[in-house]
């Protein structure tokens, strides 16, 4: 019978920090089987950071589980720093970590923004990727960013009304610029309230059924600041040229075994993007979870992700 839930909690067998430039010092950890098949977990956001729960998608007797907090996120320092923080730098960081850990090839697992970075990394270094497990697809196009800022009000009007009302009426014509101005203000009394509202808006829209626990956790200061400031930075300074570059270059990785897992009622990253990805990449398995939203912790999504890591045990 296929496994349906997360593996038991576990601690890392190794943690460390990787200094990637004069600014950024990245937290990384390894857990599971030191001699197992390497798998890299890429967190969402950008800026959300990883948590101990993320180790539990993988059988620790089989996988060598590598987790990294990306630039400015989670336990990496400085928190929320935007300098030298773009997709090429993040891709280079993954290669630096792979080399540092002495890994030749690894599986890559990423959801939401993690799916964006997973695809970007695989397209840059296809020979280093054994397989891809992707959830809640986000490809960094303007239409997807505009949906986050304005479109989600059609499904979550209450959450969006709070997100919109935080900004004075005269600035609401450009919510991204208005939040950006506050999130990058050096005064915590300015940037922290804005970060909490932004992060809790996303949290409120991330599950099929209301999750007060997720919304509350989204408002925690460090999480909110890393998530909101770095998301706004990437949304405002999207460096993809052309903006659909990730989708256009899928042809370069269609030979890599992959699975796309998508909640039917994902409002943060709507299913249209996952459908477009699958049409460009028909070789990838495509699993639509019929009763789920965006979060990886939605029961059906969680089950599909664990079952994917179990199926991918055949890869080497």
Question: What is the set of active-site residues?
Answer: 112, 266, 294
Backbone angles phi, psi at 136, to 5 degrees: 55, 65
Rounded distance between C-alpha atoms, residue 38 and residue 66, angstroms: 7
227: which 2 tokens?
Answer: 């998530």
274 and 263 in contact (C-beta within 8 Å)? no
DSSP single-letter state for residue 69: P
Rounded distance between C-alpha atoms, residue 72 and residue 227, angstroms: 9
258-263 vs 25-32, strand pairing mode: unpaired
Residue 151: HSE in the Cβ half-sphere, 13 Å Cα cutoff: 12
Closest CA to 240 of 47, 46, 87, 82: 87
Q: Among the residues of the chain, which ranges form H helices?
A: 87-100, 113-124, 142-149, 157-165, 175-183, 188-204, 212-218, 221-236, 245-248, 271-280, 299-311
Q: Within 10 A of 297 (CB to CB), how many other CB atoms are there?
A: 17
Q: Which helix (H) or strand (E) holds 109?
A: strand 106-111
- Residues 6 or more apart whose CB falls under 8 angstroms from that of 25 comprise 17, 18, 19, 76, 77
Q: What is the dihedral sign for C-alpha 178, 184, 187, 191?
A: positive
Q: Within 10 A of 131 (CB to CB), how many other CB atoms are there?
A: 23
The SS3 of residue 108 is strand
């Amino acid at each position: 019978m296929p496994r349906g839930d997360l593996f038991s909690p576990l601690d890392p067998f190794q943690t460390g920090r990787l200094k990637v430039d004069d600014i950024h010092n990245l937290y990384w950890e390894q857990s599971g089987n030191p001699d197992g098949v390497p798998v890299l977990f890429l967190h969402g956001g950008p800026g959300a950071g990883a948590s101990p729960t993320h180790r539990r998608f993988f059988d620790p007797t089989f996988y060598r589980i590598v987790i990294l907090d990306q630039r400015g996120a989670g336990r990496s320092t400085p928190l929320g720093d935007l300098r030298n923080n773009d997709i090429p730098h993040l891709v280079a960081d993954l290669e630096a970590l792979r080399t540092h850990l002495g890994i030749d090839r690894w599986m890559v697992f990423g959801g939401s923004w993690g799916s964006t970075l997973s695809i970007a990394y695989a397209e840059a270094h296809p020979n280093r990727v054994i397989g891809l497990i992707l959830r809640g697809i986000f490809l960094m196009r303007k239409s997807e960013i505009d949906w986050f800022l304005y479109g989600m009000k059609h499904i979550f009007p209450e959450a969006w009304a709070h997100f919109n009302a935080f900004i004075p009426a005269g600035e609401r014509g450009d919510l991204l610029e208005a939040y950006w101005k506050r999130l990058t203000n050096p005064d915590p009394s300015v940037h922290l309230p804005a970060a909490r509202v932004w992060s809790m808006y996303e949290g409120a829209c991330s599950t099929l059924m209301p999750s007060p626990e997720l919304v509350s956790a989204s408002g925690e200061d460090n999480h909110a600041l890393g998530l909101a400031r770095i998301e706004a930075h990437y949304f405002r300074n999207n460096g993809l040229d052309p903006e659909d570059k990730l989708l256009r270059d899928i042809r370069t990785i269609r030979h890599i075994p992959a699975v796309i897992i998508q909640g039917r009622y994902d409002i943060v990253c709507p299913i249209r993007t996952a459908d477009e990805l699958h049409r460009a990449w028909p070789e990838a398995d495509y699993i639509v979870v019929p009763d789920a939203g965006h979060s990886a912790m939605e029961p059906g999504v969680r089950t599909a992700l664990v079952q994917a890591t179990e199926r991918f045990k055949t890869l080497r």
